[in-house]
Chain A
C-alpha cells in the first residue's frame, strides 16, 4: 500500500514541477481544504464538517473544479438512465412473471424462463459489449455514434426537442443493457411468488365467489405476489448503481460511474472519494425509499 494520496501528490509536485516542499504542501492542503499538520482525527473532523457544507474538495486533474460540481454534472445522467431502466425492467418482469406463472409448463413459459435464466447468467457489461459490437458494428442496426456518450457533441443542451430526442437515442443502448440483464431476476421471482399465492385460500374464495378473472389476477394475486419483490428492489438498486461504472464505461455514458472510472485511471483522489460517497449515499437513500414504498403497498406493515 502506498503512502496516503496527499503525500503522493506532494511528491509529484516536487519532482515534476520542481516546486519547493512547502509550496507543494500548501497547494495540496488548499485542494483538500484540510490542514495536513493536524492529527488524523482532527483532519477527519475537518473533512466531515466540509462535507456537511457540501465541500468535497477540488479535482486534481481539472484543477480548481470543485468535486461537488462535477458530481452535480454527472449524477443526473446516472439517475435518469438507471431509474428509467429499472422501472421498465421491474414492470416487464412482473408482467412476464404473472404470464408464465399462469401458463406454467406451456411453450411460452418454457421460452420465457429459459431466456430469463440465460440472460441472468451473462454479466451486464458483457451484454453491453455484445449489444454494441453486434447491433452497432456488425449488423449496423443502430448507429454506433448513439452508443457513445450521453448526447451528440454538436447539440446545445437545454429544454428543446432536438436535444431531448438525442438524449433518448443515446440512452437506448445502456437502457437495453440494464433491462435485458435485470428483467429475468424480476420475472423468475415473480413467477415463483405468483405460483405460491395462487395456492392461497383467499384466491380460491375469490374464485368461488365468481369474481372476474381479471380482478382476481390484478387485485388478489398480482398485488400480493409483488410484495416480496420490493425487498429485492433495494438490493438490486445498489447493485445497478455499483455496476454503472462498467456499463457507463462501455458506452462512455456521462454518469457518475464514468466519472469514477476516469478519476481512478487519473488517480484523482478527491473525485474518487466524492463519487464513492455519492454512490453509497444513493444506495442508502434508495433502500430507504424502497422501505417507504413497501409500507405504501402493503397496508399490513403500516404503523397505526
Chain B
C-alpha cells in the first residue's frame, strides 16, 4: 500500500496539480492507448476503393480517405506502434547509456573520465542525421536497430550534464557526511545522488524520445529506411510522392500523420514539466 502511494498516487496528484503538465500527461496516455489497444478496435482495411479517393472527413471516415480511397484514421492508429516503439526504446536506451557512462565518468575520474568524455566530444561533432542516412544506405535498418543506433549517437549531451552534476555533488556536505558515516558507494550513488540526478534524467528521456521521432520519421520520409509497415513516416512519404503539392483535396492525407506527430511531440514536452516536478520537490507549489 505504501509502495502504491509512493509510486502511483502521489505522482498522479502532483501531475494533476499542474494544469499544463496534466494536459501533456493525458495526451501521452492517449497516444500510448492508441498504440497498444487501438488496433484491436479499429480494423485496417487495405483494399483499394478508387471511387472513394481523397474524401473529406465524414462520420464513416473521420479523417477522410487516401489516394486509394482507404480510411486514414485506421492507418494512423495502426501506424502509431512503430513510431512510439522506436521513441520509447531510443529514449530508454539513451538515458540508460548516458546515466551509466556519465555517473561512472564523474565518479571515477582520471583515465576513464578522459576516455569517455573524448568519445562523447567526438560523437557530438558528428552530425547525427546525415550519419544515420548514410548508414541506412549501406545496411538494412529495422526499427529496433534504428533505435539502438539513435541512442548510441545521442547519449553524449546527457552524459556530460550528469557527469558535471556528479562532480559537483561529490563535493557537497551531505555526500561527505554519507562518506564519513561509511555508507558505501552503492548507497551514496543510489540513495544520495540519484534523487538529485532524476530531474535531468526524466527531462532528457522526453527529449531523447522527441529527438528519436524526428530522426526516425525523417529517415522514413526521405525513403532511406525500407517500408516494412504502415507508420506515419511512410504515410507522409506516400502522401508527398503521390502529389500533395498537386491535389488540393489530398490535404487530409498529408495533414493527418503530420498532426499525429506534432500532437505527440507537444504532449510529451508539456508532460516533461510535470515530470520535472515529480522528481524535483523544490519546484512544487504546495
- Among the 9-residue stretches A52-60, A124-132, A196-204, A207-215, the one with 4 or more Cβ atoms under 8 Å from chain B is A124-132
- Among the 9-residue stretches B65-73, B101-109, B127-135, the one with 4 or more Cβ atoms under 8 Å from chain A is B127-135
A133 x B129 contact (CB < 8 A): no
B214 x A133 contact (CB < 8 A): no
Chain A residue numbers with a CB within 8 Å of B218 are 123, 125, 243, 246
From B126, B127, B136, B254, give the contact of A129 (CB < 8 A): B254
Interchain pairs with CB closer than 8 A, number:
102
Chain A contact surface mostly: helix
A279 x B254 contact (CB < 8 A): no
A123 x B265 contact (CB < 8 A): yes
B134 x A123 contact (CB < 8 A): no
Indicate if B139 sits at the interface (CB-CB under 8 A). yes
Taking CB atoms and an 8 Å cut-off, the chain A residues in 136-192 that contact chain B are: 136-138, 144
Taking CB atoms and an 8 Å cut-off, the chain A residues in 255-304 that contact chain B are: 260-261, 264-265, 267, 272-273, 275-276, 279-280, 283-284, 287
From B138, B210, B245, B266, give the contact of A136 (CB < 8 A): B245
Chain A residues within 8 Å of B, Cβ to Cβ: 1-2, 5, 117-118, 120-123, 125-126, 129-130, 132-133, 136-138, 144, 235, 238-239, 241-243, 245-246, 249, 260-261, 264-265, 267, 272-273, 275-276, 279-280, 283-284, 287
B188 to chain A, nearest CB (A): 31
A129 x B258 contact (CB < 8 A): yes
- If A129-B258, A246-B222 are given as contacts, then 17 extra A-B residue pairs at C-beta distance below 8 Å, sorted by A number, are A5-B138, A123-B262, A130-B258, A132-B245, A136-B245, A137-B248, A144-B245, A235-B124, A238-B127, A246-B218, A260-B130, A260-B134, A267-B137, A276-B131, A280-B130, A283-B125, A287-B125
A181 to chain B, nearest CB (A): 11
**Max chain B CB contacts within 10 Å: which of A246, A261, A272?**
A246
Chain B residue numbers with a CB within 8 Å of A121 are 210, 262, 265-266, 269
